[in-house]
Amino acid sequence: MALRSGNLAYMQYSELNRSKPVFVAGHNGMVGGAIVRRLSDLGFEQILTADRSELDLRDQSSVNEWFSSNKPEYVYLAAGTVGGIMANSTRQAEFLYDNLMIHATVVEAARLTEVEKLLYLGSSCIYPRLSEQPISEDCLLQGPLEPTNEGYAIAKIAGIKLCQFYAQQYGCNFITAMPTNLYGPNDNYDLESSHVLPALIRRFHDAKSEGEEIVTVWGSGSPRREFLHVDDLADACVHLMDGYSGVEHVNVGTGTDVSIAKLAHLVRQIVYPEVEIEFDTSKPDGMPRKLLDVSKLSELGWRATIDLEPGIKHAYDWFCDNYSEARGVG
Ligand code: GFB
């Protein structure tokens, strides 16, 4: 199934120069991969990437060297150690260390080599656990964080502040975007480390293949989450790179959320309608609700265009087409 996020018109008057080199840090991940696809669709001629084996983004001198040799003009900083609720809560040291280091090295190298513009990607988990909903940008640092992802959130907050301070102190054009929960092609389908949507797709699919009668869903089913297709996110990133140069971070989401129970029913309907669902309340729920206020992004002329149901069907098609590879990721 072809899906297209629709905000194409603005590229006709884009300020971005498509012949300048663009570095997508994290191109092997779901987000970086989607940004590469989007840039390529839009005709960017020099999309630079670096494999982990070639460049350790946690190592400042290697990153400096890479930037000096490759001279990117635009940078999308989508690299990082990421995962779902279980990976986040059991590997907090790794999530904090890796992400702190990656953000710092890339931002510093971008300053040293006078990159024209950098977009840093954070996460909606930066906001306090009990934020007022929908969560506006100014909720940042207004209360305690959700404990299951505190390490990751602190690294992401440090990344935002880093970009803001580099903009203020050095005059760098470094901007920051905060996406909500993401899904789409190239997601991580490993059941221990994945996010909820790929985990549910895999659980229902495997249950169908094995003729099982019950699928287990973690937690109570009552938390609410907002899901943005990664192709929409990639489109929003290019839009912000093109038209936004403010210091304040910008939320990126759809503006609507669903309960995990409702999500499980949707995935069941698409993958295996006959099966029963049970909830395992020994597993953590995480934040009770995480819905972003996207009014700032709307004012900047962007909105999501991929609805959840076709988006899930698209992700499920990708999973079926890449079954062996998808199950090994993570
Ligand atoms: O997607 P998820 O891991 O991320 O979990 P968070 C969302 C909700 O789905 C939680 C429930 O309430 C989970 O308990 N859930 C139900 C499941 N079944 C499953 C399952 O099989 N696997 C998973 N993973 N969840 C992450 C943060 O939080 O969100 C990260 O840990 C990051 O920092 C990311 O920000 C976007 O939304 O709870």
32's enclosing H/E stretch is helix 30-41
Measured CA to CA, the distance from residue 27 to residue 323 in angstroms comes to 20
Give 21-68 pLDDT, tens digit per residue.
999 999 999 999 999 999 999 999 999 999 999 999 999 999 999 999
Give 146-167 pLDDT, tens digit per residue.
999 999 999 999 999 999 999 9
Cβ pair 99, 80 in contact under 8 A: yes
C-alpha distance from residue 108 to each of 58, 101, 118, 151, 210 (Å): 12, 11, 11, 22, 50
The sign of the CA dihedral 260, 85, 317, 77 is positive
Residue 260 confidence class, pLDDT cut points 50, 70, 90: very high
Please give the positions annotated as active site.
152
pTM of the shown model: 0.95
Q: Which of 82, 92, 129, 218 to mutate to test the pocket of ligand 1 (most atoms within 8 A of CB)?
A: 218
Measured CA to CA, the distance from residue 164 to residue 247 in angstroms comes to 6
Q: What is the mean pLDDT of residues 259-266?
A: 98
pLDDT of residue 329: 40
Residue 330 confidence class, pLDDT cut points 50, 70, 90: very low
pLDDT of residue 238: 96
Nearest CA owner, ligand 1 atom 28: 85
Of 199, 36, 206, 21, the closest CA to residue 117 belongs to 21
Q: Is 283 in the pocket of ligand 1 (CB under 6 A)?
A: yes
When mean pLDDT is compared across 13-17, 86-90, 192-196, the lowest value belongs to 13-17
Nearest CA owner, ligand 1 atom 13: 285
Cβ pair 160, 176 in contact under 8 A: yes
Residue 197 confidence class, pLDDT cut points 50, 70, 90: very high
Give 293-305 pLDDT, tens digit per residue.
999 999 999 999 9
